[in-house]
């Protein structure tokens, strides 16, 4: 998420960097919102300061006066009440404006890496490294043909259970998946990762914190009666495990690993790589996450 202060103080710089993605971004509306937010923040802070001074003055008047119903004291209390009402009104405006600013900024991408080449499409990408030699043979069977001939998964019968793009693992296929999950969990825990088994349902704030919302809302499954979504990846609950916490640097690094079922609509990818085990709506994954101190050299 881009820094509000950066947008407020240098909108041209933000627009120029975002435009390196090959699309023109105009953020004048967001810039105006951040300026309004700053003005309200300053006004609330000023009123709170005055209110504290007034409260102290009221205390002094009460301490010196024998009459707690004097005109001076009543005027001061009236003024204090006016401060509280005004602060309350501004805080409501602040709350609504905070949400609007966050919603707008959440729809902006991050700056592209300075090392990323500027180009029109993927054909301008630079190949940095290759590994292995491509297998060039005729009549090579696809993975779904091999899987079905070995009877280790079935996609046709799975449509009767749910719909297309779900898979049922069978026999050795199910055993292989279970073995791979255990293998990856054991390997990570032996290397200092703490295993977690998080919920498969996550709330909107958790998805926003990991960058899944709002960008991938159309590719996620949402429960209609709750603010809960089927997790698209264990990255979401693992990163949310310490959401809104300040972690003591002495505790770092903190390393977690988790297995989770993952659910994605894969919106927009219909017709591309949708056979077999590719582009499924549900799949299993082992995810590792580390909370570390970044050192810029």
Q: Kindly report, residue by residue over 206-245, the tens digit of the pLDDT.
A: 998 888 888 888 888 898 888 999 999 999 999 999 998 8
pLDDT in tens, 39-52: 999 999 999 999 99
Question: Which residues in the chain are classed under CATH 3.30.930.10?
Answer: 143-291
Asked if 282 contacts 261 with a C-beta cutoff of 8 angstroms, the reply is: yes
Write the CA distances from 241 to 102, 167, 205, integer angstroms: 21, 30, 12
The CATH number corresponding to 143-291 among 3.40.630.10, 3.40.30.10, 3.30.930.10, 3.90.1150.10 equals 3.30.930.10
pLDDT band at 284 (very low <50, low <70, confident <90, very high): very high
Stated pTM of the model: 0.70
pLDDT in tens, 78-119: 888 998 999 999 999 999 999 899 888 888 888 888 888 888
Rounded CA-CA distance 170/148 in Å is: 10
pLDDT in tens, 131-170: 998 888 888 888 888 888 899 988 888 888 888 888 889 9
Instruction: State which H helix or E strand residue 257 sits in.
Output: strand 254-263
Domain 4-106 CATH assignment equals 3.40.50: no
Rounded CA-CA distance 118/98 in Å is: 34
Rounded CA-CA distance 231/220 in Å is: 8
């Amino acid at each position: 998420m881009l820094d509000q202060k950066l947008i407020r103080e240098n909108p041209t710089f933000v627009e120029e960097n975002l435009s390196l993605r090959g699309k023109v971004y105009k953020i004048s509306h967001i810039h105006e919102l951040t300026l309004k937010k700053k003005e309200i923040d300053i006004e609330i802070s000023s009123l709170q300061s005055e209110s504290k001074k007034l409260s102290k003055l009221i205390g002094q008047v009460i301490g010196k006066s024998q009459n707690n119903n004097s005109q001076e004291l009543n005027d001061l209390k009236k003024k204090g009440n006016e401060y509280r009402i005004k602060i309350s009104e501004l805080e409501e405006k602040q709350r609504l404006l905070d949400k609007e600013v966050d919603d707008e900024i959440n729809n902006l991408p991050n700056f592209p890496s300075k090392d990323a080449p500027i180009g029109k499409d993927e054909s301008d990408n630079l190949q940095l490294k290759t590994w292995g030699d491509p297998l060039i043979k005729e009549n090579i069977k696809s993975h779904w043909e091999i899987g079905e001939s070995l009877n280790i998964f079935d996609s046709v019968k799975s449509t009767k259970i749910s719909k297309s793009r779900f898979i049922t693992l069978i026999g050795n296929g199910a055993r292989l998946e279970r073995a791979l999950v255990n293998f990856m969990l054991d390997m990570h825990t032996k290397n200092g990762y703490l295993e977690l088994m998080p919920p498969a349902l996550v709330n909107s704030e958790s998805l926003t914190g990991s960058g899944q919302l709002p960008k991938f809302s159309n590719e996620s499954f949402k429960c209609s009666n709750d603010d809960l979504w089927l997790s698209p990846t264990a990255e979401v609950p693992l990163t949310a495990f310490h959401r809104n916490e300040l972690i003591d640097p002495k505790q770092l690094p903190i390393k977690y690993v988790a297995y989770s079922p993952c659910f994605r609509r894969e919106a927009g990818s219909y017709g591309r790589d949708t056979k077999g085990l590719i582009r499924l709506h549900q799949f299993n994954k082992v995810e590792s996450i580390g909370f570390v101190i970044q050192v810029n050299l």
